[in-house]
Amino acid sequence: MFETIEIPVWTVWLAGILAMIGLLDRILMPTVRWYLRRRMNRAITVLNEKLQLKIQPFKLTKRWVMIDRLAYDPQVIEAIVEYSQAEKIPYPVVEQMAHKYAREIVPSFSAAGYFGVAIKLARWLSRSLYRVRLGYVDEQALADIDPEAAVIFVMNHRSNMDYILVTYLAASRSALSYAVGEWARVWPLKPLISSLGAYFIRRKSRNQLYRRVLARYVQMATEAGVTQAVFPEGGLSRDGKLKPAKLGLLSYMVADFNPETSRDIYFVPVGVNYDRVLEDRVLLASNKGEKTSGMKKLLAFLRFMGRQIGLRVTGKFYRFGYASVSFGAPVSFKEFLKAHKHRKHEAMTKALGKELMTKVGAVIPILPVSLVARIFLTNQKMPLGKEDVIKKCNIVLERLQAKGAYMHIPHKDFDYAVEVGLRMLVLRHVIKEEGGKYHLHQDEVTLLGYYANAIAHLG
């Protein structure tokens, strides 16, 4: 009993390390976590005082707690039972499927990551690529939004830069929670985007259980007042035109809405436009039905980045023109319901989607390339001098502005704005200058139409 036992030195070291880990885990780590949590809560309190739309507690809830809340929500449980019976799959198996979907959808928002890193990165990237301009903003209407309401930014979808650009320009108002498609579910984008509060959706999924879990998460976030941003078109515009709304997410947001007891939902129309969309040729090829493998897209992207880096090194890099975002007057869902209270949910949602896309289209800013492209598209066979282009652009702009359209005019000099549009199209080899006249490259008519289509809905 009292005999000496010899043990290896490494065993003693291992036991000591394990004891130290246990000591840290049980005594020191809770204190450290409490201290860090208190500092974070103070930082969020200070941040909320500066933001127009506060970060709601729902968004700050620990991810694993939100996953359980979603997976064990009564509506999700009901969906599990129905799916199990309909597909004749054992209940435990379907329950695991629902948990998998919940883990996939629920983000892990980090306020420090969003406001400490993401905003700075978004600002740097946006300004590096474009001359960023804030377009029309109905400041009074935005200021009058009920601070307790849920706010949804409803946007047209021109480029994957939309996420970055609007995140940067809306930074003083709130932290936006995006619905992000399958393209972002790859490492290292997935953990990064999830930490910024975005939730992933399978746009093409027809699995009823998945749709029910997704719908319930969107409803919970909306009911909790989380500020969100959605692209009702459902994907990038492949021809440049504004597309009608797909009603999935909008339908989820307004489902079970009670005008008497539910917090109001304000839909803020947001219009985005660019002098150059980075993915334009890829989108046009896709619109023609041309299939491109992921590897070819990656190689094309690397070649593009290589050229841009080379231009920067040699001092020949030009930013891709202007990028502009406009914010229109919000639509109160309670007010909207007063005019559509006798409609069924499906018809009401369809009317809401139509009205929101009309308002989004109305605030899409006119930019130099879009305006100049429109002129050359309607004068394809006619060489035009600079003065001819200015004159025709001015006629079109006056007509569009009479209908309420907004144009960003650099330096308040319209002639200079037209020069910017001409220069950008010459650099892209869409038009060429010969003898003081500009001629259209006939094989670039489709690309020209893509940029003209950005403002085609304005009239």
Is the per-residue pLDDT at 396 higher than 90? yes
Q: What are phi and psi of 180, to 5 degrees?
A: -115, 140
d(CA 405, CA 380): 25
**Which burial class, exposed, middle or buried, applies to 383 when counting CB atoms under 10 A from its CB (0-12, 13-18, 19+)?**
middle
**Which burial class, exposed, middle or buried, applies to 308 when counting CB atoms under 10 A from its CB (0-12, 13-18, 19+)?**
middle
Is the per-residue pLDDT at 85 higher than 50? yes
- CATH 3.30.565.10, applies to 104-278+321-363: no
pTM of the predicted model as reported, rounded to 2 decimal places: 0.84
Angle between helices 208-223 and 74-87 (to 10 degrees): 170
Query: What is the average pLDDT score of the chain?
Result: 83
Nearest to 152 by CA among 245, 43, 274: 245
pLDDT tens-digit readout, 194-245: 666 778 888 778 889 999 999 999 999 999 888 888 999 988 889 999 999 9
d(CA 293, CA 302): 14
Which pLDDT belongs to residue 148? 86
pLDDT tens-digit readout, 28-39: 555 555 444 555
d(CA 130, CA 165): 10
Please give the distance of CA 326 from its chain centroid, rounded to a whole number. 15
Domain boundaries, the chain: 104-278+321-363, 368-458
Q: Which CATH architecture has domain 368-458?
A: Orthogonal Bundle (1.10)
Q: Are 191 and 211 in contact (CB under 8 A)?
A: no
